Amino acid sequence: MPDGAPHGWRRQLRLDPIPALLACGDEALLYWVKRDLLCVQAGPVDRLWRLPEALRILRKQQPDGSWIFPGNQQQRDKDRCLVETWKQLRFLVEKYGFRREHPCLAAAAEFAFSCQTDQGDFRGFIANQYATYYTGALMSLLNQAGYEDDPRIEKGFRWLLSMRQHDMGWTIPILTHRLDWQTVLRLTGRPADPLEPDRSMPFSHNWTGMVLRAFATHRTYRETEEARIAASLLKSRFFQPDSYTSYHAAGYWVSFQYPFWWNNLVAALDSILRIDPAIDEPVERALGWFSEHQREDGLWDTTYVAGKQAGSAKAREMRPWVSLAICRVFCRIADRHGPAPFDSPANRPHNGGSGVSS
């Protein structure tokens, strides 16, 4: 969004979130609020690289660029290191804006690429089984860090496109088979060969949402028909249970975290609106849900699932970051369509419900 862009996106909400965001005191978050929401000069992003919180992450990085899974200090299992490296990359890239110019980020990227197979997927997230969802999520971080033109990213996209179901969405291949627990344990141990998907099975919106992040953060692939089809599939499932038992409940749509991990409503919208900015009924309904569910301070909770804890210290720390991600969605809408592109939920009654089906 260009400097000096209008702030009309705030009129789409019941309450202005900016005062609460500015009062949070988190220097990294304040940088993104100023740059992305207030559209003022925030300075070079590399100043975030020197923040104490970022340096604490870097101090635990290993010489090969990886991070060791907690409790695994004596045994360096490469699969565990891949998972932990992806987890730490989320913070470095999405909170502190790290790019490939930083040697620690470059080392982490090279470790991740060392886990890429000749086919193009990143292997090791679930042992030797195909992990379409984590491959897409990891590629998204690498795109944002400046690797989108790397030929290894291109190889990853070719693999993702080759792994779609017949309905043109994605799932986790091992989930497309009805397997007993002993078989699952055998297939997720080494050196079991990866199980090919049953492509006749339906897509999963949870895992399609994670794959779609790779397309959304790539300036070429976000423009493809394949990305638009997947975005349409994803929003067709808003507030519905998933097709598979893993993360099946509809409540996962309204359980949030930042940096992004699992699919949810804000993560899905973030990808969908980068790919297709059209405001159709599912998108309008999702935007309305966010406007109706603001807290009285203008921010949002990390979960709206009944019985789930939203008041923990971790949730309180994450709440402004989740709120930033939601505000970015409204900014993107206003930037494309103006300040009031849909039936403004600011005029709707606040019903307080989660809006998800059981």
* Residue from 302, 291, 305, 309 nearest 356 by CA: 305
Whether 94 contacts 259, CB under 8 Å: yes
The pLDDT of residue 350: 39
- Judged by average pLDDT, the poorest of 56-60, 125-129, 267-271 is 125-129
* Residue 61: its H or E element: none
For the chain, what is the largest distance between any 2 Cα atoms, rounded to a whole number of angstroms?
59
pLDDT at 20 over 80: yes
Instruction: Determine the Cα angle at 181 with ends 178 and 187, to 5°.
Output: 80
Q: Tens of pLDDT along 32-42?
A: 999 999 999 99
The length of the chain, given as a count of residues:
358
Residue 345's pLDDT band (boundaries 50, 70, 90)? very low
Contact between residue 197 and residue 176 where contact means Cβ atoms under 8 Å apart: yes
What is the rounded distance in angstroms from the CA atom of residue 125 to the CA atom of residue 112? 11
CB contact at 8 A, 277 and 336? yes
> pLDDT tens digit string along 172-219?
999 999 888 888 888 887 678 899 999 999 999 999 999 999 999 999
Identify the band that residue 352 occupies on the pLDDT scale cut at 50, 70 and 90: very low
Measured between alpha carbons, how far is 188 from 210 in angstroms, rounded to an integer?
A: 21
CB atoms within 10 A of CB 6: 13
Predicted confidence at residue 310, as pLDDT, reads 66
Using a pLDDT cut of 70, give the percent of the chain over it. 87
